[in-house]
Amino acid sequence: MLHAISLAVILSGIWWVLSGLTLVLILGLGAGSILFIIWICHRMDAIDHETHPIHLAIGSLTYFPWLAWEIVLANMDVAIAILKNGSSVRPRLMHIKASQVSEVGLVTYANSITLTPGTVTLDVEGQDFLIHSLTEGSYDGLLTGEMDQKVTALELDKGYPMITQQPVMKDSSEDAPPKPERET
């Protein structure tokens, strides 16, 4: 219920920002479409903590500004590496272990790594990430594990789906038995 209300508030905000008209007709159409979308999402069983992680909202207020600053610093590092004609470019592949337990937490961490220039998540298998890093600085920055700790602190909930084995797609149940590589 809480998720549905929050979805309605967000959709109303988007409708208002994109239209900006106060005509009764337009606002009525907006309210109608929002209710329709919430009904569809409810039917699809797509309103829950995973598609709509409002439990992360409070933590995000401090996490995203921190991430934005990290992105700025990483941008400087990569920009300098490019301008120096690649003399400080040291590409590496490495495996790191993520400490998040929920899928939302793992996705947030993997996306944060990719969003930071200089590091890209190439593969996620359970809690094991394969990372491609460009420079010495981005490599060391990731190894400190600061981002890992911040994302783990962000996912306050511990009761939501744990990663104990490979996440299995619902529609491919024949692939479900222990088979570490999903892509062929």
For another protein, what does the binding mask look like between residues 51 and 80, x meaning CB under 8 A?
A: --------------------xx--x--xx-
Cβ distance to another protein smaller for residue 42 or 79: 79
Provide the edge-to-edge strand list for the sheet that holds 119-125.
89-97, 128-135, 119-125
Alpha carbon separation from 95 to 13, 24, 71, 73, 123 (Å, rounded):
41, 56, 21, 23, 9
Cβ distance to another protein smaller for residue 39 or 64: 64
- Least distance from another protein to the Cβ atom of residue 115, Å: 5
How far apart are alpha carbons 27 and 13 in whole angstroms? 12
On whether the CB atoms of residues 52 and 3 are closer than 8 A, the answer is yes
Q: Site residues (CB under 8 A) for another protein?
A: 14, 16-18, 20, 71-72, 75, 78-79, 82-83, 85-86, 89-93, 110-111, 114-123, 125, 130, 132, 134, 181, 183-184
